[in-house]
Homo-oligomer: A and B are copies of this chain.
Amino acid sequence: MMLAALDGEAAVAEIVEREDGLITANVMGPAMYLAPFRRWPPHHRAAMRLVRGRVLDVGAGGGRVSLHLQERGHEVVAIDNSPGAVEVCRRRGVRDARLLDFAEIDESLGVFDTIVLLGNNFGLFGSSAKAKRLLRRLHALTSEKARILAESRDVSGAPGADAPWHAEYRRRNVERGRLPGQIRIRIRFRTIVGPWFDYPMVSPAEMREILDGTGWHLARTIDSDDTYVAVIEKTV
Protein backbone atom coordinates (compact mmCIF):
# COMPACT_ATOMS: atom_id res chain seq x y z
CA MET A 1 0.00 0.00 0.00
CA MET A 2 2.75 2.41 0.93
CA LEU A 3 4.70 1.47 -2.20
CA ALA A 4 1.63 2.42 -4.25
CA ALA A 5 1.28 5.68 -2.32
CA LEU A 6 5.00 6.37 -2.79
CA ASP A 7 4.59 5.76 -6.52
CA GLY A 8 1.97 8.52 -6.54
CA GLU A 9 -1.05 6.32 -7.26
CA ALA A 10 -4.33 8.12 -6.70
CA ALA A 11 -6.86 7.23 -4.00
CA VAL A 12 -4.75 4.66 -2.16
CA ALA A 13 -6.72 3.69 0.94
CA GLU A 14 -5.82 1.40 3.81
CA ILE A 15 -8.59 -1.14 4.37
CA VAL A 16 -8.93 -2.19 8.00
CA GLU A 17 -11.04 -5.28 8.72
CA ARG A 18 -12.00 -6.00 12.33
CA GLU A 19 -12.74 -9.58 13.40
CA ASP A 20 -16.45 -8.83 13.84
CA GLY A 21 -16.66 -7.88 10.17
CA LEU A 22 -16.44 -4.12 10.63
CA ILE A 23 -14.59 -2.77 7.63
CA THR A 24 -13.27 0.75 7.19
CA ALA A 25 -11.14 2.61 4.69
CA ASN A 26 -8.42 4.80 6.12
CA VAL A 27 -8.20 7.34 3.36
CA MET A 28 -5.72 9.72 4.94
CA GLY A 29 -3.45 6.95 6.26
CA PRO A 30 -1.18 6.27 3.29
CA ALA A 31 -0.40 9.96 2.73
CA MET A 32 0.14 10.48 6.48
CA TYR A 33 2.62 7.58 6.62
CA LEU A 34 4.82 9.48 4.15
CA ALA A 35 4.19 13.00 5.46
CA PRO A 36 7.07 15.42 6.08
CA PHE A 37 7.49 16.78 9.64
CA ARG A 38 5.69 20.07 8.93
CA ARG A 39 2.48 18.17 8.09
CA TRP A 40 2.45 16.00 11.20
CA PRO A 41 -0.18 16.59 13.87
CA PRO A 42 1.10 18.94 16.60
CA HIS A 43 1.23 16.25 19.32
CA HIS A 44 3.53 14.13 17.11
CA ARG A 45 5.80 17.12 16.54
CA ALA A 46 5.80 17.86 20.27
CA ALA A 47 6.77 14.26 21.04
CA MET A 48 9.88 14.59 18.85
CA ARG A 49 11.29 17.16 21.27
CA LEU A 50 11.58 14.39 23.88
CA VAL A 51 13.70 12.10 21.72
CA ARG A 52 17.33 11.65 22.72
CA GLY A 53 20.22 9.38 21.78
CA ARG A 54 19.90 6.16 19.84
CA VAL A 55 16.36 5.47 18.62
CA LEU A 56 14.25 2.40 17.80
CA ASP A 57 11.35 3.33 15.51
CA VAL A 58 8.74 0.58 15.91
CA GLY A 59 6.25 -0.03 13.09
CA ALA A 60 8.22 2.45 11.04
CA GLY A 61 5.74 2.30 8.14
CA GLY A 62 6.69 4.85 5.51
CA GLY A 63 9.71 5.92 7.59
CA ARG A 64 8.58 9.46 8.36
CA VAL A 65 9.77 9.34 12.00
CA SER A 66 13.09 7.69 11.15
CA LEU A 67 13.80 10.16 8.35
CA HIS A 68 13.06 13.13 10.59
CA LEU A 69 15.23 11.87 13.45
CA GLN A 70 18.10 10.89 11.11
CA GLU A 71 18.06 14.45 9.78
CA ARG A 72 18.32 15.70 13.33
CA GLY A 73 21.44 13.58 13.81
CA HIS A 74 20.05 10.61 15.71
CA GLU A 75 21.15 7.05 15.03
CA VAL A 76 17.90 5.26 14.21
CA VAL A 77 16.95 1.61 13.73
CA ALA A 78 13.60 1.31 11.94
CA ILE A 79 11.69 -1.97 12.23
CA ASP A 80 8.49 -3.09 10.56
CA ASN A 81 6.94 -6.51 9.95
CA SER A 82 5.82 -5.51 6.44
CA PRO A 83 8.36 -6.15 3.65
CA GLY A 84 6.73 -3.39 1.57
CA ALA A 85 7.10 -0.89 4.41
CA VAL A 86 10.77 -1.78 4.83
CA GLU A 87 11.29 -1.30 1.09
CA VAL A 88 9.59 2.10 1.26
CA CYS A 89 11.80 3.09 4.23
CA ARG A 90 14.93 2.13 2.31
CA ARG A 91 13.86 3.81 -0.93
CA ARG A 92 13.15 6.99 1.02
CA GLY A 93 16.59 6.97 2.64
CA VAL A 94 16.18 5.33 6.05
CA ARG A 95 19.72 4.07 6.64
CA ASP A 96 18.91 1.10 8.91
CA ALA A 97 15.49 -0.37 8.15
CA ARG A 98 14.90 -3.99 9.13
CA LEU A 99 12.11 -6.50 8.53
CA LEU A 100 11.42 -7.48 12.12
CA ASP A 101 8.38 -8.07 14.31
CA PHE A 102 8.37 -5.94 17.47
CA ALA A 103 7.96 -9.09 19.60
CA GLU A 104 11.22 -10.47 18.12
CA ILE A 105 13.57 -7.68 19.20
CA ASP A 106 16.61 -8.71 21.22
CA GLU A 107 20.05 -7.49 22.31
CA SER A 108 21.46 -7.96 18.80
CA LEU A 109 19.93 -4.56 18.00
CA GLY A 110 22.09 -2.85 20.63
CA VAL A 111 21.03 -0.44 23.39
CA PHE A 112 18.45 2.29 22.77
CA ASP A 113 17.81 5.60 24.51
CA THR A 114 14.39 6.20 22.94
CA ILE A 115 11.70 3.86 21.60
CA VAL A 116 9.14 5.54 19.35
CA LEU A 117 5.69 4.06 18.61
CA LEU A 118 3.65 6.83 17.00
CA GLY A 119 0.33 6.44 15.18
CA ASN A 120 -1.52 4.34 17.78
CA ASN A 121 1.45 1.97 17.77
CA PHE A 122 1.26 1.33 21.50
CA GLY A 123 -1.08 -1.32 20.08
CA LEU A 124 1.96 -3.14 18.66
CA PHE A 125 2.71 -4.27 22.22
CA GLY A 126 -0.32 -6.55 21.74
CA SER A 127 -2.49 -7.87 24.55
CA SER A 128 -1.92 -6.79 28.15
CA ALA A 129 0.08 -9.94 29.03
CA LYS A 130 2.25 -9.71 25.90
CA ALA A 131 2.82 -6.01 26.54
CA LYS A 132 4.10 -6.69 30.07
CA ARG A 133 6.59 -9.30 28.83
CA LEU A 134 7.83 -7.04 26.04
CA LEU A 135 8.14 -4.03 28.36
CA ARG A 136 10.34 -6.05 30.70
CA ARG A 137 12.54 -7.12 27.80
CA LEU A 138 12.74 -3.51 26.59
CA HIS A 139 13.91 -2.53 30.05
CA ALA A 140 17.03 -4.63 29.51
CA LEU A 141 17.60 -3.30 25.97
CA THR A 142 17.59 0.38 26.95
CA SER A 143 19.81 2.85 28.74
CA GLU A 144 19.13 4.08 32.26
CA LYS A 145 17.38 7.31 31.25
CA ALA A 146 15.53 5.73 28.33
CA ARG A 147 12.08 6.86 27.23
CA ILE A 148 9.29 5.18 25.35
CA LEU A 149 7.10 7.56 23.33
CA ALA A 150 3.99 5.56 22.49
CA GLU A 151 0.71 6.78 21.07
CA SER A 152 -2.63 5.38 22.09
CA ARG A 153 -6.26 6.35 22.23
CA ASP A 154 -8.90 6.47 24.94
CA VAL A 155 -11.67 4.77 22.98
CA SER A 156 -14.36 5.42 25.59
CA GLY A 157 -14.23 9.14 24.81
CA ALA A 158 -13.55 8.90 21.08
CA PRO A 159 -15.95 10.49 18.60
CA GLY A 160 -18.37 7.83 17.39
CA ALA A 161 -17.52 5.54 20.32
CA ASP A 162 -21.21 5.19 21.19
CA ALA A 163 -22.06 3.78 17.74
CA PRO A 164 -23.66 0.36 18.33
CA TRP A 165 -20.98 -1.55 16.38
CA HIS A 166 -18.27 -0.07 18.63
CA ALA A 167 -20.17 -0.24 21.96
CA GLU A 168 -21.09 -3.90 21.34
CA TYR A 169 -17.49 -4.75 20.42
CA ARG A 170 -16.13 -3.16 23.63
CA ARG A 171 -18.77 -5.03 25.66
CA ARG A 172 -17.77 -8.39 24.12
CA ASN A 173 -14.07 -7.61 24.69
CA VAL A 174 -14.67 -7.04 28.40
CA GLU A 175 -16.76 -10.23 28.53
CA ARG A 176 -13.79 -12.18 27.13
CA GLY A 177 -11.31 -10.59 29.52
CA ARG A 178 -9.79 -8.31 26.92
CA LEU A 179 -9.15 -4.60 27.19
CA PRO A 180 -12.27 -2.74 25.98
CA GLY A 181 -10.31 -1.09 23.13
CA GLN A 182 -8.42 -4.23 22.16
CA ILE A 183 -9.25 -4.58 18.50
CA ARG A 184 -8.27 -7.66 16.49
CA ILE A 185 -7.77 -6.51 12.93
CA ARG A 186 -6.11 -7.27 9.65
CA ILE A 187 -5.04 -4.91 6.89
CA ARG A 188 -6.07 -5.47 3.29
CA PHE A 189 -4.81 -3.86 0.13
CA ARG A 190 -5.67 -5.06 -3.36
CA THR A 191 -5.40 -8.87 -3.17
CA ILE A 192 -3.06 -8.77 -0.16
CA VAL A 193 -4.62 -9.87 3.11
CA GLY A 194 -2.45 -9.40 6.19
CA PRO A 195 -2.56 -11.67 9.25
CA TRP A 196 -4.98 -10.99 12.11
CA PHE A 197 -3.34 -9.18 15.02
CA ASP A 198 -4.32 -7.67 18.37
CA TYR A 199 -3.99 -3.92 18.44
CA PRO A 200 -5.21 -2.55 21.79
CA MET A 201 -6.05 1.09 22.33
CA VAL A 202 -5.86 2.04 25.99
CA SER A 203 -6.72 4.92 28.28
CA PRO A 204 -3.90 6.39 30.42
CA ALA A 205 -5.34 4.49 33.43
CA GLU A 206 -5.26 1.20 31.51
CA MET A 207 -1.73 1.95 30.35
CA ARG A 208 -0.63 2.52 33.96
CA GLU A 209 -1.93 -0.94 34.85
CA ILE A 210 -0.02 -2.50 31.97
CA LEU A 211 3.18 -0.67 32.97
CA ASP A 212 2.82 -1.70 36.62
CA GLY A 213 5.57 -4.12 37.61
CA THR A 214 7.53 -3.77 34.35
CA GLY A 215 10.07 -1.21 35.55
CA TRP A 216 8.38 1.52 33.52
CA HIS A 217 5.87 4.21 34.47
CA LEU A 218 3.76 6.81 32.70
CA ALA A 219 5.58 10.11 33.32
CA ARG A 220 3.14 12.29 31.37
CA THR A 221 0.95 12.45 28.29
CA ILE A 222 0.86 14.78 25.29
CA ASP A 223 -2.84 14.99 24.44
CA SER A 224 -4.77 15.62 21.25
CA ASP A 225 -8.49 15.02 21.89
CA ASP A 226 -8.98 11.31 22.58
CA THR A 227 -5.48 10.49 21.29
CA TYR A 228 -2.29 10.94 23.29
CA VAL A 229 1.41 10.25 23.19
CA ALA A 230 2.48 8.54 26.42
CA VAL A 231 5.88 9.57 27.77
CA ILE A 232 7.03 6.39 29.52
CA GLU A 233 10.17 6.43 31.67
CA LYS A 234 12.07 3.98 33.82
CA THR A 235 11.04 3.67 37.47
CA VAL A 236 14.03 4.34 39.67
Contact = CB atoms under 8 A, between A and B. Distances in A.
Contacts of A25: 11, 13, 15, 25, 27
A192 B140 CA distance: 46
Residue among A24, A25, A193 with max Cβ neighbours from chain B (10 Å)? A25
Contacts of A193: 21
Copies in the assembly, this chain: 2
A48 to B, nearest CB: 27
A21 B165 contact: no
Given A13-B13, A15-B15, A189 B23 contact: yes
Contact of A165 (B11, B15, B23, B190): B190
B15 A27 contact: no
A21 B194 CA distance: 12
A188 interface: yes
Interface in A21-58: 21-25, 27-28
For A23, A27, A188, the residue with the greatest tally of chain B CB atoms inside 10 Å of its CB is A23
Contacts of A11: 25, 27-28
Contacts of A27: 11, 13, 25, 27
A15 B22 CA distance: 11
A71 interface: no
Shortest beta-carbon contacts, A-B, top 3: A25-B25, A13-B25, A23-B188
